[in-house]
Amino acid sequence: MTIAIDKNSGYCFGVEFAIQMAEDEMEESAELYCLGDIVHNSMEVQRLYAKGLRIIDREQLKELQDSKVLIRAHGEPPETYKIALENNLELIDASCPVVLKLQNRVKHAFDSTKSYNGQIVIYGQHGHAEVIGIAGQTQNEAIVVTSEADLNKIDFTRPVTLFSQTTKSTKGFYHIKASIEQQIAQAGGSLENFDANDSICRQVSNREPQLTKFAAEHDVIIFVSGKKAPTARLFTRCARRIMPEAISWKMPMN
């Protein structure tokens, strides 16, 4: 029997960078707070907890004073930085560079759309930490769409600027793009007033075709993931390539 590990498996570089920053900081600090789970992997969260990393939510952040707080790879909205200034918090910013670039693009687009009554639309998961950070660049005026069912929130007679959460599927983004174009045409609008920006991280999106190839080369796939990890799409890729009864689905304990 031959056992192989997919060379493309594991965390993306943004998450690896955040974990490294946390470990480096904890070598000098007895305790470090992190706004949300640093990674969707309970075993890794527990390992870092033993080193002194404490997970807090946004409500707890408001009560925290004179402490160090790590911003994970997902990024944060402007409100978080404002709270840090008010509460004398030192931020260890591990925001992914890809996410920061997207936040800047969204803010610039939002400031520009005010002059012509445009709308910022984000293709992403409602309540996801990255989406919260992106929407914060628009004073939370951005319209978040997860599927076609959400498109009724958009006024198709007004200009639309579309962005995507960096970890969404490329196929899903272009499906939403096509649906918006169709709705604009039906509303009598002009496609010249529609600006679609593919802001998906290719390190993440390229995993799908790479995993499809890997799955096709093996008889059994053992897919290891945390319960909170957004890996259902990748798991489905495996399921399409091998017999369902040959698939093992293993998650670490909470």
Per-residue pLDDT tens over the stretch 74-100: 999 999 999 999 999 999 999 999 999
**What is the rounded CA–CA span in Å between residue 135 and residue 143?**
8
What pLDDT is recorded for position 245?
46
Catalytic residues: 130
**Would you say residue 5 lies in a domain?**
no
> Do 50 and 116 share a structural domain?
no
Please count the other Cβ atoms lying within 10 Å of the Cβ belonging to residue 102: 25
**Residue that is last in its domain, among 95, 112, 143:** 95
**Would you say residue 8 lies in a domain?**
no
Number of domains in the chain: 3
In angstroms, the first-to-last Cα distance of the chain is 31
Question: Which stretches in the chain have pLDDT values below 70?
Answer: 204-206, 226-233, 236-237, 239-254
What pLDDT is recorded for position 251?
44
CB distance 191 to 156 below 8 Å: no
> Do 221 and 163 share a structural domain?
no
Angle subtended by helix axes 129-136 and 97-113, to nearest 10: 40
> Do 120 and 109 share a structural domain?
yes
**Residue that is last in its domain, among 79, 95, 111:** 95
Q: Please, which residues bridge with residue 231 across strands?
A: none
> Do 121 and 191 share a structural domain?
yes
Q: Residue 118 belongs to a domain with what CATH number?
A: 3.40.1010.20
> Do 103 and 183 share a structural domain?
yes
**Would you say residue 3 lies in a domain?**
no
Q: Report which DSSP code applies to 89.
A: P
Burial class (CB in 10 A: 0-12, 13-18, 19+), 208: middle
> Do 81 and 45 share a structural domain?
yes
**What is the rounded CA–CA span in Å between residue 83 and residue 65?**
10
**Would you say residue 6 lies in a domain?**
no
> Do 44 and 130 share a structural domain?
no
What pLDDT is recorded for position 107?
98
Structure tokens at 242: 């091998």
What pLDDT is recorded for position 56?
96
**Would you say residue 7 lies in a domain?**
no
Burial class (CB in 10 A: 0-12, 13-18, 19+), 91: middle
What pLDDT is recorded for position 240?
65
> Do 103 and 39 share a structural domain?
no
**Would you say residue 68 lies in a domain?**
yes
Positive or negative, the CA dihedral 147, 153, 156, 162 is negative
Domain, as residue range, for 183: 98-200
**Would you say residue 22 lies in a domain?**
yes
**What is the rounded CA–CA span in Å between residue 22 and residue 32?**
8
What pLDDT is recorded for position 136?
97
> Do 183 and 120 share a structural domain?
yes
What pLDDT is recorded for position 187?
94
What pLDDT is recorded for position 233?
65
**Residue that is last in its domain, among 95, 126, 153:** 95
Structure tokens at 131: 């989406």
